[in-house]
Amino acid sequence: MAPDSLDLVDYPEPEPSAREIRVRVEACAVCRTDLHLIEGDIDPGKLPVVPGHMIVGTVEQTGFEARRFQLGDRVGIAWLRHTCGRCDDCRSGAENLCRGSEYTGCHADGGYADSCVVDESYAYALDDAWSALETAPLLCSGIIGYRALQRAALAPGGSVGLFGFGSSAAMVARLARHRGHPFFAFSRGEAHLEEAKRIGAAWAGHADDHPGEPLDAAIVFAPAGPVVPPALRAVRPGGRVVLAGIHMSEIPALDYERHLFHEKILTSVEANTRADGVAFLEEACAAGIRPKVQVFPLERANEALAGLKAGELDGTAVLDCG
């Protein structure tokens, strides 16, 4: 599907079930996952579906068993919206791997809307310190970036390469700096490289360039398989490469001795746990991580998606739904 395939339609306000809350949407950030869903790279859980899973709003109605929030409370809704709670993964703290998981804007209507519903246990309590427009990108780009950085398993002072320097990578860069990790930025976009330098990159260049020293870890944000071999070459023996995307084009054949030997580790990220979300939002507040945003009214969602696809956005696209 093309990014102009979203239609603006009227539909009834959703009614919250027993443990759900209905949220009046103030802002919803635009994610590359939305683009993957719209273009058919990822199968949606239902059709038609309202996209959007980086949602900030206020509670306007509660189900009869919902007790966690009060009317008027500010909350966030992210990608993960349901897990079974019974499988080994759920019981071991790895609910992101639950095979019964469901996702906002995929299995249920999301935040490109005036309102949406979610089980209260999958909503995040937010304060009013930051605007809804600033907070929305934290709820996926930020949380997934946080989990990717955790999976990089850096030792104190360890270096990390960020391949692809969009919204998520920019937040991880700030988080890495806050933790004392030098970061190295790899991007084909000169504007992105300049942004990385402004944030404090130890080095910035293209994916095939050599950063001048072996890296302790690398995170691949770009959904481009051909970036994986250079990332593996960039890390030291025993280094780790984390693939942070939900979808990636085909990865070229890897040469064992050049790319994987010396106990290099290639791993991935699948969604996040609610604990990841809580921990990241707390750390983002402490570190003062405020994403750069480009605001669009809700009715221009197709324009925001087209800008994301073309790499022409100046920051994270956020839909003003208020």
The tens digit of pLDDT for each residue in 197-234 reads: 999 999 999 999 999 999 999 999 999 999 999 999 99
The DSSP line for 92-143 is TT-GGG-TT-EEBTTTB--SSSSEEEEEGGGEEE--SSS-HHHHGGGGTHHH
pLDDT of residue 164: 97
Which of 2-6, 20-24, 308-312 is most confident? 20-24
Maximum distance among all Cα pairs of the chain, rounded to whole angstroms: 60
Q: What percent of the chain has pLDDT over 70?
A: 99
Nearest CA to 146 out of 51, 36, 287 is that of 287
Average pLDDT score over the chain: 96
Pairwise CA distance, residues 124 & 201, whole Å: 31
What's the pLDDT band for 4 if we cut at 50, 70, 90? low
pLDDT, position 1? 41
Rounded to whole angstroms, how far apart are CA atoms 130 and 104?
23
Tens-place pLDDT, residues 101-160: 999 999 999 999 999 999 999 999 998 888 999 999 999 999 999 999 999 999 999 999
| Distances, alpha carbon 240 to alpha carbons 148, 169, 215, 274, 279, in Å | 11, 17, 9, 24, 23
Q: How many residues in the chain?
A: 322
Smallest CA-to-CA distance from 164 within 308, 318, 263, 304 is with: 308
Neighbouring C-beta atoms of residue 200, cutoff 10 Å: 13
Give how far Cα 129 sits from Cα of 65, 132, 234, 291, Å. 29, 9, 39, 14
pTM of the predicted protein model: 0.95
Structural domains of the chain, ranges and CATH numbers in brackets: 20-139+272-320 (3.90.180.10), 142-268 (3.40.50.720)
Residue 62 pLDDT exceeds 60: yes
Instruction: Give pLDDT tens digits for 28-45.
Output: 999 999 999 999 999 999
Does the pLDDT at position 161 exceed 50?
A: yes
Half-sphere exposure of 5 (CA within 13 A, CB side): 14
